[in-house]
A and B are shown apart, each in its own frame.
Chain A
Amino acid sequence: MPEWLEVVIRSLLFVVVLFLITKWLGKKQLSELSFFEYVVGITIGSIGAEVITGLERNMFNGIIGIVVFAAIPFLAGLLSLKSKGFRDFIEGRATIFIKDGKIMEDNLKKEKYTTDELLELLRKKDVFKVADVEFAVLEPTGDLSVMLKKENQPLTPKDVNLTVASVKEPQTVIMDGEILDEPLSTIGRSRGWLKTELEKQGVTIENVFIGQVDSYGQLTIDLFDDKLQVPSPQEKPLILSTMKKCQADLESFALGTEAKGAKQMYSKNSEKIQKAIDKVTPILRG
């Protein structure tokens, strides 16, 4: 067997082995979260490279080495699931860098971080002013997690007492012009429904690049042909505006009529509609 052919065979074999090992270790290995994953990543790579090109050596010794190196973080992962102490020892603990808005200089020194590096980490979190930070902690992975002071945190609907309608995740039902049946059945719709919706918007299925259905059953699409304009769903705003119009009508009837009973009935109903409008506005506005 010529040497180059052996290298090809070894390479292919090791790609498979490395693929299987990484699958086995799971997502944690890919993110290189802790010391073990970091070291194992480097070492397995080196062993692989060494064995593929070092033809004088036995290939299976390399595989044994890789398996052993993969088994150690696997066992460590199992153990650290059970014991908090072991976990702290293996993966390290978080270090508090900023507390109550004050930088902990001793902790910086302990982790050998310079002020510049701290500022850099803060900038990566879009924080340019140390005074904006209430609390910051260096995770064992080397990431800085930052909690801003309340006045610097982004405004949420809760802060302004705004009620918002809750939504579920949208489902992608059309991809590259093809209907995906599984998400479609998740939301309890049929192909027939989808075709009718597309007809309503005046497009053919072949022209749809991506189509999603939100939790209110509205279909939004993006077309291959970007020159075509797709109307955004109008149903909800339309209901809301009709309700508002009827409410105003009822009010004007109440003002217009002379009959006592009718006047009362109109204004009572106008109030009822107004209350209903207030309740559904967060849903219909979106």
Chain B
Amino acid sequence: MTVGSDVKQCFASLKGVEASLSSLALRTLDDESKRTLHEAMMVVHEVTKDLKKRVGELEGEELQYKGF
């Protein structure tokens, strides 16, 4: 395993969390919880954007594991 694949895995997990938070926020009836969940989803989204960039950089370094 390389750092690249570890980061990719983390990226994938965060994507999953983002989707779960989003669907939970949609299903929640209580307005305040809804807002909190949505905000958390946005934060996770920003982090995934950064991670995606990093995955691209790492792929430049570890060409043999190129996936994106």
Contacts and interface: CB of A to CB of B under 8 A. Distances in A.
B47 A273 contact: yes
A272 B43 contact: yes
A216 B36 CA distance: 13
Nearest to A257: B3
B28 A215 contact: yes
Contacts of A235: 20, 24
Interface string B4-26: 00110110011011001100100
Interface string A75-87: 0000000000000
B36 A265 contact: no
B62 interface: no
A275 B46 CA distance: 13
A153 interface: no
A225 B37 CA distance: 36
B60 to A, nearest CB: 12
A243 B44 CA distance: 9
B24 A242 contact: no
Nearest to B29: A215
Contacts of B17: 239, 242-243, 246
Given A262-B54, A265-B50, A272-B47, A242 B13 contact: yes
Nearest to A171: B29
B47 to A, nearest CB: 4
Given A242-B13, A283-B37, A273 B43 contact: yes
B50 A269 contact: yes
A250 B48 CA distance: 11
A276 B6 contact: no
B65 to A, nearest CB: 16
A149 interface: no
Interface string B26-40: 011110110011011
Contacts of A238: 20
Contact of A279 (B7, B36, B47): B36
B33 to A, nearest CB: 5
9 contacts: A216-B27, A250-B47, A253-B10, A265-B50, A265-B54, A276-B39, A279-B39, A280-B36, A283-B36
Q: What are the nearest 5 A-B pairs in CB distance?
A: A217-B27, A276-B40, A276-B43, A215-B29, A249-B10
Interface of B: 3, 6-7, 9-10, 13-14, 16-17, 20-21, 24, 27-30, 32-33, 36-37, 39-40, 43-44, 46-47, 50-51, 54, 57
